A and B are shown apart, each in its own frame.
Chain A
Amino acid sequence: MDQDNILEMRSITKTFPGVVALDDVTLTVKRGEIHAICGENGAGKSTLMKVLSGVHPYGTYEGQIIYEGEEARFHSINDSEHKGIVIIHQELALSPYQSIAENIFLGNERFTKAHLIDWNRTNADAKELMDRVGLVENPTTPISTIGVGKQQLVEIAKALSKSVKLLILDEPTAALNDTDSEHLLGLLRGLQAQGITCIMISHKLSELMEIADTITVIRDGKTIESMPGPEATQERLIKDMVGREMSSRYPTREHNIGEEVFRVEDWTVYHPTQPGRLMIDNASFYVRAGEVVGIAGLMGAGRTELAMSLFGHSYGKNISGHTYIHGEEVHLHTVNEAIAHGVAYVSEDRKRYGLNLLTNIVTNTTAAGISKLTSRLGFINDNKGAQVADEYRELLGIRTPSVMAAITKLSGGNQQKVVVAKWLYADPEILILDEPTRGIDVGAKYEIYTIINDLVAQGKAVIVISSELPEVMGVSDRIYTLSFGSVTGEVPIAEATPEKLMELMTKEKEIVK
């Protein structure tokens, strides 16, 4: 074995009943490098990392893992952590009501001689680790009160506390805004300088081209190629990932904009638990038939709060303002009223707000349009439901052996398509898509954009909320910018530039009310 390599995964094959998840995958990671892995939905990236970290124990896969010059046989995640391999999952595994320090040393507590928790040492050591990752907080602050970007840093501090040699990050920046992402990437470089090797799974191609020393592309459970970071181009990566040339990342569409469908005036929303905290301040906007309106805003600008408060007052208190559909004022006080008026909301957090993870694709697909399956006597026709789900499987390209499969067996992108299918089946006229492509790969994103085009071609009005500027600019006809709860600008796509949008998105209120 080459001493320069910290890790060699040789001919890894992993099968689940009916599915070959990994097919003869080889991965070589050099000591001290940042190694990026990218690939489409369900390409096998996460499975590969689970094999590496012992989540899928030795013996349940074929092939060989050579780590630090010897064959590794991890039977559990404890085994791999013991050897200095730490994995940070996309969904952070922190205990929300415990403090930052407690979380950092969870399962690895600092004890006094009497084997009780040594709080002074816990907090002091935590502070030291927090300094290393650039987290400025009090170690006793509960996790639930800090943002997701800082939580990510806590996870890394936790990894450092275990004297990590090989740090694996699964989509570390998916939930972060640009500033937090920048900070995180800077931190990874810093760790690299301290001799820590890093494997990073990411869908953000520009980001991984910027930071990675080596990029490996996986497709359909196979390694396609490994290339040095500087040699990578966006086109080459996309081609490797999807197995075809993608002429454009955004499908073109015919612009056929009609009458105004949905108008919001003076929409004002207060925080649900903190009285007097204004979340949305006099927001007004409209969307026309056959039009995609983008809502661009940074984290905390109130994008989701705006969407959810409109969707049947699902968020916020003391909501005031007016909503009009086809020029007539409507009151959308409950989700049912919103659905009945043809409004649909695809949440940014599919696992929390979008899916029932205990059931299958059929139940999830038909959840919002269940009344269509219900006979006059109130019986649900499950067979028809299965047929409906099957139609959407084909229409949206949901990759699954069967619509009876559990939703948890699908990859993130395919789960997202199920959420979209659920709302398409409810047959809305106005769709609010909140971060519709978060955490899904380029190919699936393209498919989602195509679905959006089909929707507007049918004359539906679509509102897309996104934190990615290229995406907002790629799909919208018109863009509203949101900043600190206020609509700060309305920009037709022809006039939109990233600089202009960013300026509006960071504009603060001039007059404090």
Chain B
Amino acid sequence: MSAVDVKPTVPVKQAESLSFGQYLIENVVRRNGILMAFVVVIIVLAIWQDKFLSPPNLTNLVLQYSYILVLALGMLMVIVLAQIDLSVGSVVAFTGAVAAVVVLKMHMPWYMGVIAAVFCGILVGAWQGFWVAVVGIPGFVVTLGGQLIFRGLAQMVLNYNSLSPFGGNYYNISNGFIKGVFPSIELFGKNCDVFTIVVFAIAVVGYAVSQWRARMGRLQYKQEVAPPLLFIGQIVLVAVVALFYGFQISQNRGLPIILIILAVFIMVYGVVMGSSSFGRNIYAIGGNLLAAQLSGVKVKWITFWAFVNMGFLAGVAGVIFSARMNGAQPAAGVGMELDAIAACFIGGASTTGGIGRIAGAMVGGLIMAVISNGMQLAGLSQGLQPIIKGLILTLAVAFDLWNKRRTSVAA
């Protein structure tokens, strides 16, 4: 359309370009409060427990908490929709049970177990998605019912007994490593697996290139970008951390297979939530349901698929968890939904929907993971551990609120 001929009577105040320090405060500290907290937690744990940064422990961290991160990916989408899924712990047990029956009772190949578990997860998601999206029952209620239904199904499928051991390839999903593709070398006096380090190096280069391209894209459209020094600093920091991590675990058993799976999932879901219309629609629905509806967002459709996706990921987590445990138990995954939900809230998701990032949920999950890990290393009592986790959850969200309130303009 042609230009509007009434001009504002006051010249528009343009944002003055921010100084380095201001930019650091505005865009780094404020938006990444949880990341800062994560760094602090790591430093504290590293000082407190000298085993914390050791190669075996860093390897274990990934093996132990990967399924929570997978669940948190789906949970974040559900939470941003202003819904919740309380059933995932039971679904993990149910899908793990299905896989165990397929592999151990029916003696089918390991991948048939994976397919069956994931397929059952999708069915569960479709079932719950139907009630939430089509019938309109709140997700809280539907999935509370689901928690009971699928726990019961898990018990029936397993005939009230544990099934184990998987062994073989199924076991390796969560416990296998890639090592010795290239010969080992001596680095800083340590015996390191070259393949692991190469993979991490490629990841770092990939990260740097993608950041660079994003920056170029923003510049091309004349968008604000971080000062060059900060930009390089950020990449260097990530590279140092990633390479240190790679260096450490390369001294242990090599590259965990589950780490590769996890990385792929995180990247895919990061893109889906960050820059696909599906993700954008989820934010729109959570932000203002009515406005989204009137903007042509297919609310029922998106809600349905978000639950299907949650079921899918619960199936994946069921596989990962049962592989990790090398068997299926009727009581597997109890309380796991709460860990996934906590990861999202610690990571800055809003309890009323519309706000939350994949990266945040992952950092939130990692905070929970490292704290649990640190407490186990220190040998804290069974009572103290959940108390501390509960306090961390409360304080993390309080900190996030305070951080946002402090820096935002009063309405």
Contact = CB atoms under 8 A, between A and B. Distances in A.
Interface of A: 16-19, 40, 55-56, 219-220, 242-244, 311-312, 314, 334-336, 338-339, 345, 347, 352-359, 363, 367-368, 370-371, 374, 378-384, 386-387, 395-397, 399-402, 404, 406, 408-409, 422, 424, 443, 446-447, 450-451, 454-455, 457-458
B354 interface: yes
B13 A383 contact: no
Given A357-B288, A367-B284, A335 B12 contact: no
A446 B9 CA distance: 13
Nearest to A408: B411
9 tightest Cβ-Cβ pairs between the two chains A and B: A356-B287, A383-B221, A358-B354, A358-B287, A368-B295, A367-B295, A401-B15, A335-B296, A356-B288
A379 B8 CA distance: 35
B381 interface: no
A379 B13 contact: no
Contacts of B296: 312, 335-336, 338-339, 368
Contacts of A17: 409
Given A379-B275, A450-B4, A18 B291 contact: no
B316 to A, nearest CB: 22
Contacts of B277: 370-371, 374, 378, 380
B291 A367 contact: yes
A403 to B, nearest CB: 10
A91 B98 CA distance: 54
B19 to A, nearest CB: 14
Contacts of A244: 9
Interface residues of B, number: 48
A386 B13 CA distance: 18
B355 interface: yes
14 contacts: A18-B16, A19-B13, A219-B9, A345-B294, A355-B291, A356-B283, A356-B287, A358-B287, A358-B354, A380-B275, A399-B8, A446-B6, A450-B6, A455-B1
A454 B3 CA distance: 8
Q: Is the interface of B mostly helix, strand, loop or mixed?
A: loop
Interface in B254-300: 271, 275-278, 280, 283-284, 286-288, 290-296, 298
B2 interface: yes
B382 interface: no
Contacts of B221: 383-384, 386-387
A356 B354 contact: yes
A455 B291 CA distance: 23
Contacts of B408: 406
A446 B220 CA distance: 35
B405 interface: no
Interface of B: 1-10, 12-16, 217-218, 220-224, 271, 275-278, 280, 283-284, 286-288, 290-296, 298, 350, 354-355, 408-411
A401 B7 CA distance: 16
Contacts of A381: 217, 275
Nearest to A395: B4
B283 A16 contact: no
Given A335-B295, A380-B280, A395 B275 contact: no
Contacts of B3: 395
Given A367-B284, A443-B9, A352 B290 contact: yes
B4, B220, B294, B410 — most chain A CB neighbours (10 Å): B294
A376 to B, nearest CB: 12
B275 A404 contact: no
Contacts of A374: 276-277
Contact of A424 (B1, B280, B292): B1
A397 B7 contact: yes
A403 B12 CA distance: 12
B409 A378 contact: no
Contact of A422 (B6, B8, B15, B295): B295
Nearest to A383: B221
Given A386-B223, A458-B1, A311 B294 contact: yes
A380 B276 contact: yes
Given A335-B293, A367-B291, A383 B218 contact: yes
Nearest to A17: B409
Contacts of B218: 383
A272 B218 CA distance: 46
A16 B409 contact: yes
B394 to A, nearest CB: 23
Contacts of A356: 283-284, 287-288, 291-292, 354
